[in-house]
Structure 1
Amino acid sequence: MSTSLVDAKIGELGSWFKEVGRVVVALSGGVDSTVLAALGHQILGDDSLAVTAVSPSLSYEALEGVRGFAGQYSLNYLEVLTDEIDDPDYVRNAPNRCYVCKSHLFERLAPVARERNATVVVGTNVDDLGDFRPGIQAAKDYHVASPFVLCGVGKAMVRSIAHALGLEVVAEKPASACLASRIPYGVPVTIQRLSAVERLESFLHRMGHQEVRVRHHGDIARIELPPEDFQVALANRERIVSEAERLGFLYSTLDLGGFRSGSMNRVLGRKSSDEGDRQTLV
């Protein structure tokens, strides 16, 4: 992507931030929210507050990563606790789980923003609009702004902006999602299931697998890795099986489909097709 195009988009985002004046950035630790927090800090200084919601659906690795980034770049940073795990609508894990979760987040951020006379912002980008993301509707309902969407920024541009800001590690960071996304719709979200997923993914990270999803199917751990990582995983098969069994999984499988963000949403498309009822995903 050309430097001039990236610089122009940074300038457009800068103008948006300056017009808004004060922001509270929902910082999850993913690429998008991290770049947004960095931009807010660069443009607004302490008038940009990055806030991370701490709950069982955020892995300890991700939280430590956020803390490290906030400290390294001297962000104005705050952590808040969210209690979606106590909400039956979240626990039942219907397809709108993300909406419920984001609602808890935005309700927690609202008083923080009011106290600062600030606008809550999230890192949603234009590429997200074509996926099934109920949290986007929650952002609309809670009047949360999405600067990347408003300025026409997609994922590739977000990574290019990260490079331009000197955030090389962030620019190359794999896509991430909350731990609850590893549990099939309709299966209750519990701390035990979230913990098993988190610990097995952490184990695989330590083995060198950066892009990984452990999908929790009861007794089965369905492991998604990029196909180029298959040989390494198979070479360590016994170690992976042993760790999975220690965490409560009776069976460990390597998904031949490879790593796919949002793979749990495939069942929604199948049901929609079967019923002849295709939803508009926004």
Structure 2
Amino acid sequence: MSEAALAARLARHAHLAIAVSGGVDSMTLAAFAHRLRTDGAGGSLEMIHAVSPAVPPAATERVRVRASLEGWALTVTGTGEFSDPRYRDNPVDRCYFCKTNLYDRIRAITPAAIASGANLDDLGDYRPGLLAASEHEVVHPYVEAGMDKSAVRALARRLGLGEVAELPAQPCLASRVETGIAIDPDDLVFIDLVETRLAALAPAGAVLRCRVTHGGIAIEIGEGIGNEDALAALAGSLCRDHGRRLAGVGPYRRGAMFVHG
């Protein structure tokens, strides 16, 4: 039912550009839409991936590999958000400025309708980026089709997307920086390093966060991962090696970097 609804929503757009971040939502949407067009649904389809210090290199590589495997028409571009001081200042609505720059860049590349991978679960979060999407008339096919994250994962498995289907939620690296701390590319490189190294000691799909806070580096670990002592020891070692202060290791908290007021 959901897949039929999703196909119907995608078919409304003769010319579609999908913003592909490298996460499960946008990757699955791109794969599903591409296979629909290949099967004769018609119309043009392009995938746009934006590179930035806030995008993990592994995500970019994932998009490039999948595009090659499936034959996507892929354009890789920069987002330009680091030239925007409103983004770099990292206010609570930083995501609005990030997405504004992203959609401005995509619109400069193509006149096609822009689609995002937002799903129903995203509507319950604080997502200033959705305002930027609305201002740019971005469409959200999953939302229109009534699909939540679990439905997206089920679709990814049916499409045979392998590890993509099990990817943990991975908002951009800047989301790990506490509100009011300026976004610094060096911090983002460190965050990616720590999370990549910690992930090697954790089960596939584990939720791990390296947070840059006003009190130092905070590590958050999802439920049921185990191996917490080894993860904490590695985090401490990485912080020492890079001249950072480890503020502590604790449970994962969604939205922990937003400091209001």
Contact 2:198 2:234 in 1 (8 A): no
SS in structure 1 of the partner of residue 110 of structure 2: helix
2:142 matched to 1:148? yes
State the alpha-carbon separation in 2 of the partners of residues 196 and 236 from structure 1: 16
Residue 280 of structure 1 aligns with which residue?
none
2:54 aligned to which of 51, 54, 57: 57
Q: CA deviation at 1:167?
A: 2.1
User: Identity percentage over the alignment?
Assistant: 33
Contact 2:26 2:116 in 1 (8 A): yes
Moved more, 82-91 or 131-140: 82-91
Render the CA deviation track for 1:180-239: whole Å, top value 9, x for unaligned: 000011111011211111111111122335321100125622111123234x13035443
Q: CA deviation at 1:43?
A: 1.2
Letter matched to residue 249 of structure 1: R
State the alpha-carbon separation in 2 of the partners of residues 262 and 72 from structure 1: 34
Letter matched to residue 10 of structure 2: F
Render the CA deviation track for 1:137-170: whole Å, top value 9, x for unaligned: 1000011111111121111111111122222322
2:34 aligned to which of 26, 32, 41: 41
Residue 97 of structure 1 aligns with which residue?
94
Residue 211 of structure 2 aligns with which residue?
215
2:118 matched to 1:121? no
Contact 1:22 1:44 in 2 (8 A): no
TM-score normalised per structure 1: 0.85
SS in structure 2 of the partner of residue 264 of structure 1: coil
1:243 aligned to which of 228, 233, 238: 238
Question: Where do residues 103-252 of structure 1 align in structure 2 (5 Å cutoff)?
Answer: 103-114=100-111, 118-208=112-202, 210-218=206-214, 220-230=216-226, 232-235=227-230, 237-252=232-247
Render the CA deviation track for 1:16-63: whole Å, top value 9, x for unaligned: 222211210000011111111111111124822111100110011221
Contact 1:218 1:249 in 2 (8 A): no
Distance 1:158 1:151, change over 3 A: same
Contact 2:118 2:143 in 1 (8 A): yes
State the alpha-carbon separation in 1 of the partners of residues 149 and 253 from structure 2: 16
How many residues of Structure 1 are paired with residues of Structure 2 in the alignment? 255
1:254 aligned to which of 238, 246, 249: 249
2:36 matched to 1:22? no
State the alpha-carbon separation in 2 of the partners of residues 159 and 121 from structure 1: 18
Contact 1:85 1:190 in 2 (8 A): no
Distance 1:261 1:33, change over 3 A: farther
Render the CA deviation track for 1:86-134: whole Å, top value 9, x for unaligned: 21100110011000000000000002222xxx21100111111111000
Contact 2:153 2:166 in 1 (8 A): yes
Moved more, 136-145 or 245-254: 245-254
Q: CA deviation at 1:251?
A: 2.1
State the alpha-carbon separation in 2 of the partners of residues 238 and 178 from structure 1: 25
Letter matched to residue 167 of structure 1: L
2:71 matched to 1:78? no
Render the CA deviation track for 1:257-278: whole Å, top value 9, x for unaligned: x22332223x44xx5xxxxxxx
State the alpha-carbon separation in 2 of the partners of residues 109 and 236 from structure 1: 39
SS in structure 2 of the partner of residue 20 of structure 1: coil
Unpaired segments ≥5 residues, structure 2: none
SS in structure 1 of the partner of residue 224 of structure 2: helix
List structure 1 segments (4+ residues) > 4 angstroms apart after TM superposition. Answer: none
